[in-house]
Amino acid sequence: MFRNLKASVTSALLVSLTLSGTPFTSMAGEKQTNFQIPATDEGLPGSGPLRRYDWFRNLWKTRRADFATQVKSKQGAVVFLGDSITQGWGPNLRNFFPGVNVANRGISGDTTRGMLLRLNEDVLALNPSAVVMLMGTNDLEEKAAPETIAANVELILAALRKHRADMPIVLCSIFPSSATKSRSADSITRINALYAAAVRGDAQVTVVDTWTLFADEQGDAKEEEFPDLLHPNEVGYAKWGNALRPILATLGLADTQADNFQPEDGFVSLFNGRDLTGWGFRPTTEKMLKSRERWHSRDPNAPPWPVVRKPVAFGGKVSTPGGRYIAKHGRLVVTTPPEGRKIQQIWTTREFGSDFTLKLEFRATPNADSGIFIRGPQLQCRDFILAGPYKELTKYKAQDWNELTVEVKGGVAHCTCNGEVLEAEFKVPESGPIGLEGDRGQIEYRRIRIRV
């Protein structure tokens, strides 16, 4: 929606923001070498509110002057760009991502336009390995329209893409808050929808559903995680960190150590942890084609399901075409689809006709949706507490590793997650392969093994 912006605001951005690490220069020719907020909006890129309260002017200048002293030490960092929610993470940010060079570039009270103005010096000068974005809530307090906020974010994304076309960008949806904070659920969900539309189909950007992660039934923040209904406490920050860690792992920025797990006696691995040997695409069945038709009858704008005409094996390959399934550091990852949602399956090249016990571990990003095919029928494998259907589980660990066990005897499977029963009598055919499905969000699988 916003990527086609070719109007004067985009021209202003490209003139005003150079991407070589030099100071910001306004169209009026004023160099911002002292980190002051420009006195007026004249010639500035973007639109909407730019805060100039005394307290904010001082904070903006102080924080940015401190950022400037870290440019050398933070080269190649994962940069977190945002407002008070990001700033509030403080030095604890490093603790959530051990071994990762991180740079906190949050400024309390900042708006999307303010972040656009400081993008060059505070972010791009670091030549980031990735950028994590959370922004927009303060614009609402200043009465900015959702479309204005989303347009500023699109300009930031355009500058990041221009800086480096292969630099990963992680876009967090705006956290819930409250209408009492001038941040209604309707306004926030509208902005998040505009964000998602702006990056739809862009493989450089991974969207993390941090709104569903935190929202209550009314779409507002919960006091036990956001005591002031705006800023997270330690519990909230821990949930945010856990939501981001799997994404950074898939980008190769975290969890890069080898997994030395060895199957128990009697079990053999179905996934070697290095590549997709033993896995492939199978021809699309008539049943799946009918499901595809029903899907598109309900949502004509939904991305098409890929139709496979002939079997394809991926022996020795680390990725399927398009990168939906990848092997990385011992994990078989179902990556976040750039389309937002996309149905796709991968299967073992081997079939299983006798009784067996299947074990694996999985980790899901917030509200992610996947599934495991047991000789054909699909057992839902999701971020269960948010996405269901097993929302009453007490041992499920959100955004962490969970063990799933499937014991097949005859035509019935007994399925558990961390020992809790998902399905006591899940009917399955006499023979067939094991499969994984991707829908929305990211899910990782590891330690996939079977005993027959």
Q: Which residues contact 76 (CB under 8 A, 6 or more apart)?
A: 101, 126, 127, 128, 129
Q: Are residues 241 and 273 in the same domain?
A: no
Question: What is the distance of C-alpha 445 from the center of its chain?
Answer: 17
Q: What is the pLDDT of residue 382?
A: 97
Average pLDDT of the residues in 48-53: 97
Q: What is the pLDDT of residue 286?
A: 74
Pairing of β 341-352 and β 432-440: antiparallel
Q: Which residues contact 396 (CB under 8 A, 6 or more apart)?
A: 384, 385, 390, 402, 417, 418, 420
* 15 or 96, higher pLDDT: 96
Range of the domain at 370: 268-451
pLDDT at 448 over 90: yes
Distinct helix (H) and strand (E) counts, the chain: 12, 19
Cβ atoms of residues 229 and 193 within 8 Å: no
pLDDT at 15 over 50: no
Q: What is the pLDDT of residue 261?
A: 95
Q: Are residues 58 and 134 in the same domain?
A: yes
Confidence of residue 291 (pLDDT cuts 50, 70, 90): confident
Of the candidate ranges 9-13, 30-34, 71-75, 198-202, the one whose mean pLDDT is the lowest: 9-13
pTM of the shown model: 0.91
Q: Are residues 205 and 313 in the same domain?
A: no
Measured CA to CA in angstroms, residue 266 lies from 95, 355, 411, 430 at distances of 39, 13, 22, 22
Question: What is the distance of C-alpha 324 from the center of its chain?
Answer: 14
- Please name every residue paired with 381 in a beta bridge, in sequence order, or none if there are none: 370
Q: Are residues 287 and 233 in the same domain?
A: no
State the residue for tokens 């990385």: 328
Confidence of residue 33 (pLDDT cuts 50, 70, 90): low
Residue 262 DSSP symbol: -
Confidence of residue 27 (pLDDT cuts 50, 70, 90): very low
Give start and end residues of each alpha helix (H) in 315-365: none
Of the candidate ranges 172-176, 283-287, 342-346, the one whose mean pLDDT is the lowest: 283-287
Q: Are residues 180 and 312 in the same domain?
A: no
* ω into 389 cis (within 30 of 0): yes
Q: What is the pLDDT of residue 21?
A: 35
Q: What is the pLDDT of residue 300?
A: 72
Q: Which CATH number do you get for residue 119?
A: 3.40.50.1110
Q: What is the pLDDT of residue 14?
A: 42
* 154 or 286, higher pLDDT: 154
- Assess if residue 221 is contained within a domain: yes
Dist CA 62 CA 211 (whole Å): 31
The model's pLDDT over 306-324, given as tens digits with 9 standing for 90+, comes to 788 899 999 999 999 999 9
- Assess if residue 335 is contained within a domain: yes
Q: Are residues 322 and 219 in the same domain?
A: no
Question: Could you write out the DSSP letters of every residue in 211-238?
Answer: HHHH--TTS---TTT-TTSSS--HHHHH
Average pLDDT of the residues in 86-114: 94
The single-letter code of the amino acid at 3 is R
Measured CA to CA in angstroms, residue 10 lies from 25, 118, 122, 434 at distances of 15, 16, 20, 49
Q: What is the pLDDT of residue 295?
A: 67
Phi, psi of 89 (to 5 degrees): -65, -30
Pairing of β 356-364 and β 402-409: antiparallel
- Assess if residue 357 is contained within a domain: yes
pLDDT at 251 over 80: yes
Q: Are residues 34 and 181 in the same domain?
A: yes
Q: Are residues 88 and 216 in the same domain?
A: yes
Average pLDDT of the residues in 287-300: 72
Dist CA 409 CA 274 (whole Å): 31
- Assess if residue 258 is contained within a domain: no
Count the neighbouring beta carbons within 10 Å of the beta carbon of residue 226.
22
Three-state DSSP class for residue 19:
coil
Dist CA 126 CA 132 (whole Å): 14
Dist CA 170 CA 110 (whole Å): 19
Dist CA 325 CA 449 (whole Å): 18
The single-letter code of the amino acid at 55 is W
Q: Residue 263, class by beta-carbon neighbours within 10 Å (0-12 exposed, 13-18 middle, 19+ buried)?
A: middle
Question: Could you write out the DSSP letters of every residue in 371-403?
Answer: EEEESSSEEEEE-HHHH-S-TT-SS--TTS-EE
Q: What is the pLDDT of residue 13?
A: 44
Dist CA 131 CA 433 (whole Å): 39
Cβ atoms of residues 99 and 123 within 8 Å: no
Q: Are residues 153 and 33 in the same domain?
A: yes
Domains: count for the chain: 2
Q: At which of 250, 283, 310 does a domain end?
A: 250
* 150 or 285, higher pLDDT: 150
pLDDT at 24 over 90: no
The model's pLDDT over 358-405, given as tens digits with 9 standing for 90+, comes to 999 999 999 999 999 999 999 999 999 999 999 999 999 999 999 999
